[in-house]
Structure 1
Amino acid sequence: MKSFTCLALVSAAILRAVSSAPTLECLTTTPNPSFATKTPLLPDPFEFLSGTPVESKEDWSCRRNEISQLFQQYELGLKPGPSQNLQSVFQQYQNGTGGNFTLTASNGDKAISWTATITYPNSTKHGSPYPALIALDLLTIPVPDGVAIITFFVSEFAQQDNMTSRGKGLFYELYPDTSPQAAGALMAWSWGLSRIMDALTNSSDIGIDPTHVGVVGCSRWGKGSLVAGAFDERIALTIVQESGSGGAACWRLSDVENVSVNGADTVQTAHEIVTENVWFSTEFEVFASEVDGTQRLPFDHHMLAGLVAPRGLLVIDNLGYEWLSPWSSYGCMTVARQIYKALGYQQAMGYTEAANHTHCQFPVADQGAELDAFVGKYLLGEQSQTDVFRTEANFTFDMAMWIDWDTPDLS
């Protein structure tokens, strides 16, 4: 990382942690889905575990909390609450282009520190405090005009090199939980990002507007971006780029796509993913290791995307990599958009699937206008047209084949 001379004046603030995880007070029962009947259909987001239908926005708020708990319990691992203490130090570069943002979180006698970098926009399109995008490890989209970039180095925060990375990284020094529900890497990243949001909210001298902050990531970091946006309601815009299974794709649909294209093993599935890396909790392996085991789960990733609603969500996909399960992602997000539709915010969710291009090399000519529209609307406060849902593929997705529920009007 390039070094810069820092200003002598360093701002520091002891922060009162702000709760960012959904409350779970609405949840009354949690079934054990390992005993559930398998179904290839995508579960109903508008029906409580008790069988009671969701009939209002108030009901949805409670159902959303229920879905959040289910993902934590059976796939992603538990997201701890805010740390007991959080301190931030911002060291501005001498040239004024940004700075290093160091956070120290502590619980009892344990403490960890990590540094994110902040780069201010070159243009004068939007003055300070700036809207910002938090990039997970690296930015793989063009830098939006007028938007600051905060780079959060998540791979040192929770390692994810391979299966030996379980429990390694700064997060696990603070939370050394080894239970089956312990946070996997994606949820650990989400926790770290929420602490960055705490610090931004409580530090007025950094030059970032905490009410207009988005998150972006590609590939495995795209999976992380979706989880971060789903589990922190302060994120104004979630951008999920080429995330594949474990991200924008549904487990059930990826299994179908895997056997229908070239026979098998052309698409990443839950069964494969839990042998590759530590993004999920070990509890998830109970379902992923069984043939069609994810069909027991009372959720799928249309409901993870639904946790972002009604905030901005743009899913960017690439038809060139079958491993990323492009049909599954398109179908899963088609169903996810029903949640936005029910809440009266259909245009807040966009999906764009472009033709073959290099993985994580954003095709500006194909998808640039759609990206600009979402950034403009949700970070810059512009009047942008965000009604986009398209694929350049020659496949179709018949939603009636994959759901047995109706979309209510909760608006």
Structure 2
Amino acid sequence: MNKCILLLSLLLFCVAGLTAQTYTNPDLPDALTFLDGSKVQTTSDWERRRKEILDLWCKFIIGHYPEEVPKLLSAVVRSTTKETDGSTRKRLLLTFDTPGKQSFEIALWEPAGTDQKARPLFLTQPKDYQLPWAEEALKRGYLVCLYPGLDAHHSEEAYPDYQSVWKRFREEYPGAGWSSSLGIQAWLASRALDYLLDENQGYRIDTSAIAIAGHSRYGKQSIYAAAFDQRIKTVIARSSGSPTGTSYRFASRHTFMESVDDFPEVWAKKELTDFLGREHQLPIEGNALLATIAPRNLMLHTAYNDGSDPTFGVERNYVNAKTVYTLLGAENNIYLSYREGQHNPITEAHTQHMFDYFDSTFGRNSLTREDFPEILHHQFDFEAWKDKQGENDLYLETNQPLPEIIHWMLGEKTGADSNQPEYRLKTEEELGVPAWSRDRWNPGGMKRVPFAFGQNRNGNMYFDPRRTHYKGTVIWLHPWNYSHGSNEGYGVEETTVYWRLAQEGYLVVGYDQFGFGDQLTAAFGFYENNPRASLLGRAVSDVSEVIDFLLAGEGIAAEKIPATDATKIYVCGFAYGGMVGLYATALDERIAGVASFSGFTPMRTDTDEKPTGGIRRLWQWHHVLPKLGLYQGRESEIPYDYPELIRLIAPRKVLVYAPVRDRFADPQDLRRGMKEAQTAWTGQGGFVFLAPDDVCRFQKDQQDVLLEWLNQALN
């Protein structure tokens, strides 16, 4: 009998492991699709799927909660203060029937007035930048509860121990498996609710008007609370980042955003870090967790240049979660609110906007959903785009030279606006991404000089001012970093590539590519104004315009910069930048060489069946190259591929760095294609193809590879 049980256990373990390891989806795990691939058809199906989502969230992200909820044993008022505005502020100690009879304190603010009307309730964590929310809620007649949800890495003198309570409750249930501080703190919010909604306590709370809000890590926590506790009717998560507001699939290393390897250890299960570089194998992401809040109200509040919340990922999460709201007939109960600026600060206008939304969902003001319009920036309507094309745009003439075919694919070149003002250096506020974020990784002694070039673009030159001679000039092209463009955020090891190259004696050019960073909003509506162009084409032409600035002075700089040697201009790009760099070098002979890191996979074999996302990732998701959509489903007919593109660069220098575990590339297709491309070089060293056993990333090791290649290319 014991042997049978052992064999059965091993079988179940293997099946569970197989499910986790073989799940592959380059796009989000659809909220309306069960893990076994079946589709949600009815509301009863959705209830089963909702349970599956929450179970998966516990299994992969936060660990499982205790099976039983402890009863409240006592609530003792520790202090009471009457404020001049008539409100009352209390501190209460709540004790629960856990094995060790654990307690925690809450702060409870009661608005002035003795009317018998049931009041709305607002919960939040007492972090200093969120206390103004509590004050605003009190002014608007909400009962306010500040519960012990302070992050393990934060503390507030006025709320001692609010950052540590979660540890004691975790120790109370060692067999539960819960390991996330954020998950446990969300559970504490529910225990505070148990007390507040107990009719014997006499708080007269309107149970249809219970709200919670949090910023950043507290936004994650607030989503967890609402997902697992349906008594919460409206949640506002401001800049909650991965894995909630945005997903790890559309953040992580290929974007310089938050990866599964960047969160503090106490936030999630340690095993989550195993998915670094293979995020497409996660069977659960934030879009599905957001959907579990349906049909209740949810606002995602994010900034255009939010370093934790890239707009592309947030919008993709939102759109997929909304499918569940639509199924439940509540499509107006989910709202994505964009704001100018970055992750911080929280302004008074933001606070008013948030509470106007809270009040509207509870019927406490005259605002309607029309006052909170849905504005999306990353949705691409392929059919509408096709309607604006001419016959020559949709059908390629045969027997053209390869450069002409490539130009056809890239589309028309966007010209400078006839009303374009003189070149000027934009202010920090105009740029969106502040100077300090670019200077923070300066190893010391290096200099950054802003410049303007091309079509009213701004960039930066990085160099060591103590040098009188520079090895060459490197144009750095960043990855899919929608929020911060060329500025590196998460995952920096020692310093960033632009400062590292400057240290090593190079002149380095960095700028935010069109549609990213300080150029993010400039690209909104691009195809409405430029239907026959492409975002990739615009990015490629920008490289040439930077060279025009370097060699012909077509632009201005904040101060004099060292001269560029016209024979020593190199391009280095990672992910999106790696692709742009190859196109730019193939089409502009002034570039002496290019290093492409994780920049591409061959297109003709990149079908929907591949774990890369297929060519759909380029023409539809990111819509940087719409004409590829004309070949969806018949990829083998794409008129050129990367081997031909790269052969145009010969005999100049090329480095293709393609990790074999890059989830955006097929290593076998790449190897075959690069073998074909290499035949264009007759000598040794002109073409270098490296396929290390690694994932998609650009950190210190990759910087080392780049520097070694550059030094050899210049000799």
Task: Tell me: CA distance 1:215–1:342, structure 2 relative to 1, closer, same or farther (3 Å).
Answer: same
**Which moves more between the two structures, 325-334 or 302-311?**
325-334
**Counterpart of 1:115 in 2: which secondary structure?**
strand
Q: CA offsets, 1:322-373, max 9 Å, x none?
A: 2433332232222222221222111111111101156141351x6734x244
Task: Tell me: CA distance 1:116–1:360, structure 2 relative to 1, closer, same or farther (3 Å).
Answer: farther
Offset of residue 102 of structure 1: 2.1
Matched, 1:149 2:133: no
- Give the structure-1-normalised TM-score: 0.76
Q: CA offsets, 1:235-280, max 9 Å, x none?
A: 011110111123301110113xx535xxxx3x1122322xx33111
Which of the pair has the greater relative contact order for Cα pairs under 8 Å at 6+ separation? Answer: 1
Task: Tell me: CA distance 1:154–1:166, structure 2 relative to 1, closer, same or farther (3 Å).
Answer: closer
Candidates 332, 350, 371, aligned match of 2:317: 332
Task: Tell me: CA distance 1:282–1:358, structure 2 relative to 1, closer, same or farther (3 Å).
Answer: closer
Q: Does the CA-based 8 Å contact 1:140-1:362 persist in structure 2?
A: no
Task: Map 1:116-195 onto structure 2 (within 5 A).
Answer: 116-122=106-112, 128-138=117-127, 139=130, 142=133, 143-144=136-137, 145-155=140-150, 159-160=152-153, 169-177=167-175, 181-195=177-191
Q: Does the CA-based 8 Å contact 2:243-2:285 persist in structure 1?
A: no
Match of 2:282 in 1: 297
**Counterpart of 2:144 in 1: which secondary structure?**
strand
Task: Tell me: CA distance 1:346–1:270, structure 2 relative to 1, closer, same or farther (3 Å).
Answer: same
Instruction: Provide the rounded CA distance (Å) in 1 between the counterparts of 2:183 and 2:164.
Output: 13
Instruction: Provide the rounded CA distance (Å) in 1 between the counterparts of 2:24 and 2:117.
Output: 52
Instruction: Provide the rounded CA distance (Å) in 1 between the counterparts of 2:165 and 2:277.
Output: 27
Instruction: Provide the rounded CA distance (Å) in 1 between the counterparts of 2:182 and 2:337.
Output: 23
Q: CA offsets, 1:206-247, max 9 Å, x none?
A: 343344211111111111011111111110111101111233
Task: Map 1:167-246 onto structure 2 (within 5 A).
Answer: 169-177=167-175, 181-202=177-198, 203-246=200-243
Match of 1:278 in 2: 266
Task: Tell me: CA distance 1:140–1:38, structure 2 relative to 1, closer, same or farther (3 Å).
Answer: farther
Task: Map 1:8-407 onto structure 2 (within 5 A).
Answer: 32-89=18-75, 91=77, 93-95=80-82, 97-108=88-99, 110-122=100-112, 128-138=117-127, 139=130, 142=133, 143-144=136-137, 145-155=140-150, 159-160=152-153, 169-177=167-175, 181-202=177-198, 203-255=200-252, 258-260=253-255, 265=256, 267-273=257-263, 276-287=264-275, 290-292=276-278, 294-356=279-341, 359-362=344-347, 364=349, 368-369=352-353, 371-379=354-362, 381-382=364-365, 384-386=367-369, 387-390=372-375, 394=521, 401=621
Q: Which runs of 5+ in 2 are unaligned?
A: 1-14, 155-162, 378-519, 526-615, 623-715
Offset of residue 50 of structure 1: 3.0
**Counterpart of 1:133 in 2: which secondary structure?**
strand
Q: Which runs of 5+ in 1 are unaligned?
A: 1-28, 403-411
Q: Does the CA-based 8 Å contact 1:253-1:332 persist in structure 2?
A: no
Number of residue pairs aligned between Structure 1 and Structure 2 = 352
**Counterpart of 2:375 in 1: which secondary structure?**
strand
- For 1:153, the aligned partner's letter is P
**Counterpart of 1:100 in 2: which secondary structure?**
strand
Q: CA offsets, 1:22-48, max 9 Å, x none?
A: xxxxxxx96754312432111122222
Q: Does the CA-based 8 Å contact 1:238-1:313 persist in structure 2?
A: yes
**Counterpart of 2:24 in 1: which secondary structure?**
coil
What root-mean-square deviation, in Å, do the aligned CA atoms of Structure 1 and Structure 2 show? 3.2
**Counterpart of 1:224 in 2: which secondary structure?**
helix
Q: Does the CA-based 8 Å contact 1:373-1:385 persist in structure 2?
A: no
**Which moves more between the two structures, 95-104 or 130-139?**
95-104
- Give the structure-2-normalised TM-score: 0.45
Q: CA offsets, 1:263-320, max 9 Å, x none?
A: xx3x1122322xx331112232332xx322x211222111010011110111111223
Q: CA offsets, 1:57-94, max 9 Å, x none?
A: 11101111111111111112112244333224253725
Q: Does the CA-based 8 Å contact 1:131-1:208 persist in structure 2?
A: yes
- For 1:86, the aligned partner's letter is L
Task: Tell me: CA distance 1:167–1:75, structure 2 relative to 1, closer, same or farther (3 Å).
Answer: farther
Higher helix fraction (1 or 2): 2
Q: Does the CA-based 8 Å contact 1:88-1:101 persist in structure 2?
A: no
Instruction: Provide the rounded CA distance (Å) in 2 between the counterparts of 1:151 and 1:360.
Output: 21
